[in-house]
């Protein structure tokens, strides 16, 4: 089954908690703190795989979670880092944030990797919190939560040449004649229900050709099958407009060409303006002179090269392929939708941004990094709270609350945490 769009939920591993331990050895009366750091949470990583051509695997399982980091131990032992989860997707997969629609990554090369959910940092052990006045801290930092997000995967097959045309125009027959692809071929419309790719070799040159379900009038408005798959030719460099030399429905090749062009323009003006070659198919049903005359007329009317061919007998196919190979040399490959992929660590200044909102006398602080900072400290431990207060002061939270009008005794809410504002803080 061909699946080209799917939505999944990815959750990275939580960082392990740091340890609050003390060295306990004979003849070492003042061993001091020796708590180790927690391990880092595992990431969720997407990997482009040229051996895949569908997102079917993700139809049956939609949630993926990486392993949490292990806790730190005594004697400065570092917790085990959580194992990452690798999810393989076809080359040509676009990754979007399901909530905003923002393109996060465009995987266009085999083996290309992108971190879609980053594991949380491990908490620091109490060894890190010693000072000249606090020589035996009884607390450690908790691990940072891993990222959680819902992403949408959209597959856009990578091909150099796209075959477009009405149903039963001979596209599948052409693809099967010039490559090892074996799309279903029959004498009725909509035989092709999913895209097919084939590798075409011309001497020492090669290119990938894509066969799509046929277009009908109104495809751009959702009729038929073609519109769903038009996105798969959005990366192609060259389009072959395939029309029958003698349509069985009584229509004319030029009418069918205009219909194809209208649907492409309705879907995407840029796609409609892409380089094209007209292919007059099934010319074995006409005398050769008549077929060549029709091809010449179409070339003149539509301002594009036109080749009269028969995929069944092979007539005209090799000249067409040689011309395609030459044209492709002159057309640059399309760039990925996004050059930079997600997964980079935000700058420290960006991480600590937050917003203070006043709602019915309650001061609500919005900012994931502030919430994560509070989560990393044990609020039942006075020493930990003292450290946290200094960290919050450094990032400007208290100044922001004061500027927003907070008074002694007002309620401050940060995520799931609720505090009472005090001037001496």
DSSP states of 280-296: EE-GGGS-HHHHHHHHH
Q: What angle do CA 308, 311, 317 make, to 5 degrees?
A: 55
Q: What angle do CA 267, 269, 270 make, to 5 degrees?
A: 110
Residues 267-285 have a mean pLDDT of 92
What sign has the CA pseudo-torsion 297, 301, 304, 310?
Answer: negative
Positions of E strands within 229-275 = 238-244
The CB density around residue 132, as the number of other CB atoms within 10 Å, is: 5
C-alpha pair distances (Å), 193 with each of 79, 179, 228, 309: 52, 19, 10, 24
Instruction: Note the pLDDT of residue 214.
Output: 65
Q: Rg of the chain's alpha carbons, rounded to an integer?
A: 31
Instruction: Note the pLDDT of residue 186.
Output: 41
Residues 371-394 have a mean pLDDT of 87
**Does the reported pTM lie above 0.85?**
no
Residues 97-107 have a mean pLDDT of 91
**Is residue 139 exposed (0-12), middle (13-18) or buried (19+ Cβ within 10 Å)?**
buried
Measured CA to CA, the distance from residue 65 to residue 43 in angstroms comes to 9
In the three-class reduction of DSSP (H, G, I as helix; E, B as strand; rest coil), residue 251 is classed as: coil
Gap between the terminal Cα atoms of the chain:
61
How many residues would you count in the chain? Answer: 425
Please answer whether residues 114 and 149 qualify as being in contact, where contact means their C-beta atoms are separated by less than 8 angstroms: no
Please answer whether residues 179 and 198 qualify as being in contact, where contact means their C-beta atoms are separated by less than 8 angstroms: yes
| 103-146 residue pLDDT tens | 999 999 999 999 999 999 999 999 888 887 788 888 899 999 99
Please answer whether residues 142 and 191 qualify as being in contact, where contact means their C-beta atoms are separated by less than 8 angstroms: no
If you ran DSSP here, which 8-state letter would residue 173 be given?
H
Please give the structure tokens belonging to residue 400. Answer: 């922001």
Q: Are strands 103-107 and 85-90 parallel, antiparallel or unpaired?
A: unpaired
pLDDT band for position 265 (cuts 50, 70, 90): confident
pLDDT band for position 40 (cuts 50, 70, 90): very high
pLDDT band for position 309 (cuts 50, 70, 90): very high
Q: What angle do CA 209, 215, 218 make, to 5 degrees?
A: 150
Positions of E strands within 314-401 = 355-359, 362-366
For residue 251, give every residue at least 6 positions away whose Cβ sits within 8 Å of its Cβ, in sequence order, or none: none
Please answer whether residues 212 and 163 qualify as being in contact, where contact means their C-beta atoms are separated by less than 8 angstroms: yes
The CB density around residue 390, as the number of other CB atoms within 10 Å, is: 9
pLDDT band for position 216 (cuts 50, 70, 90): low
| 401-422 residue pLDDT tens | 888 888 888 899 988 888 888 8
Instruction: Note the pLDDT of residue 110.
Output: 92
Please answer whether residues 2 and 54 qualify as being in contact, where contact means their C-beta atoms are separated by less than 8 angstroms: yes
pLDDT band for position 305 (cuts 50, 70, 90): very high
Torsion angles phi and psi, residue 113, rounded to 5: -125, 150
Please answer whether residues 346 and 397 qualify as being in contact, where contact means their C-beta atoms are separated by less than 8 angstroms: no
The yes-or-no verdict on residue 185 having pLDDT over 50 is: no
Please answer whether residues 298 and 253 qualify as being in contact, where contact means their C-beta atoms are separated by less than 8 angstroms: yes
Residues 318-346 have a mean pLDDT of 77
Q: Are strands 276-281 and 238-244 parallel, antiparallel or unpaired?
A: parallel
Show the domains of the chain with their CATH numbers.
5-155 (2.70.210.12), 161-330 (3.40.50.300), 349-420 (3.30.300.350)
């Amino acid at each position: 089954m061909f699946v080209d769009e799917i939505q999944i939920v990815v959750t990275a591993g939580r960082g392990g908690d740091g340890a609050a331990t003390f060295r306990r050895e004979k003849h070492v009366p003042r061993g001091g703190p020796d708590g180790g750091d927690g391990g880092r949470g595992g990431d969720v990583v997407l990997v482009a795989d040229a051996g895949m051509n569908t997102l079917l695997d993700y139809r049956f399982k939609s949630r993926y979670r990486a392993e949490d980091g292990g806790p730190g131990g005594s004697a400065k032992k570092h917790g085990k880092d959580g194992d990452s989860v690798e999810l393989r997707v076809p080359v040509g997969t676009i990754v979007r944030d399901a909530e905003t629609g923002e393109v996060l990554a465009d995987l266009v090369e085999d083996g290309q990797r992108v971190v879609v959910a980053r594991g949380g940092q491990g908490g620091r052990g109490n060894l890190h919190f010693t000072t000249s006045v606090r020589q035996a801290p009884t607390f450690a930092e908790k691990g940072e939560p891993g990222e959680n997000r819902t992403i949408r995967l959209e597959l856009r097959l990578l091909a150099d040449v796209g075959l477009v045309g009405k149903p039963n125009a001979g596209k599948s027959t052409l693809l099967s004649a010039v490559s090892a692809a074996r799309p279903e071929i029959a004498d009725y419309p909509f035989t092709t229900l999913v895209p097919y790719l084939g590798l075409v070799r011309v001497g020492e040159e090669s290119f990938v050709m894509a066969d799509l379900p046929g277009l009908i009038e109104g495809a751009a408005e959702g009729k038929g099958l073609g519109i769903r798959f038009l996105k798969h030719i959005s990366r192609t460099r060259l389009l072959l407009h395939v029309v029958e030399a003698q349509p069985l429905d009584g229509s004319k090749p030029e009418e069918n060409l205009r219909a194809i062009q209208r649907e492409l323009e309705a879907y995407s003006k840029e796609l409609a303006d892409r380089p094209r070659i007209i292919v007059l198919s099934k010319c074995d049903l006409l005398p050769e002179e008549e077929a060549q005359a029709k091809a010449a007329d179409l070339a003149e009317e539509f301002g594009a090269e036109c080749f009269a061919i028969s995929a069944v007998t092979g007539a005209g196919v090799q000249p067409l392929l040689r011309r395609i190979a030459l044209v492709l040399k002159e057309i640059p490959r399309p760039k990925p939708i996004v050059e930079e992929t997600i997964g980079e660590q935000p700058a420290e200044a960006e991480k600590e941004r937050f917003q203070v909102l006043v709602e019915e006398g309650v001061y609500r602080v919005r900012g994931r990094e502030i919430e994560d900072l509070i989560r990393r400290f044990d609020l039942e431990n006075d020493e930990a709270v003292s450290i946290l207060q200094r960290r919050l002061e450094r990032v400007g939270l208290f100044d922001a609350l004061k500027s927003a009008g907070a008074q002694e005794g007002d309620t401050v809410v940060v995520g799931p945490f609720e505090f009472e504002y005090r001037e001496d803080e």
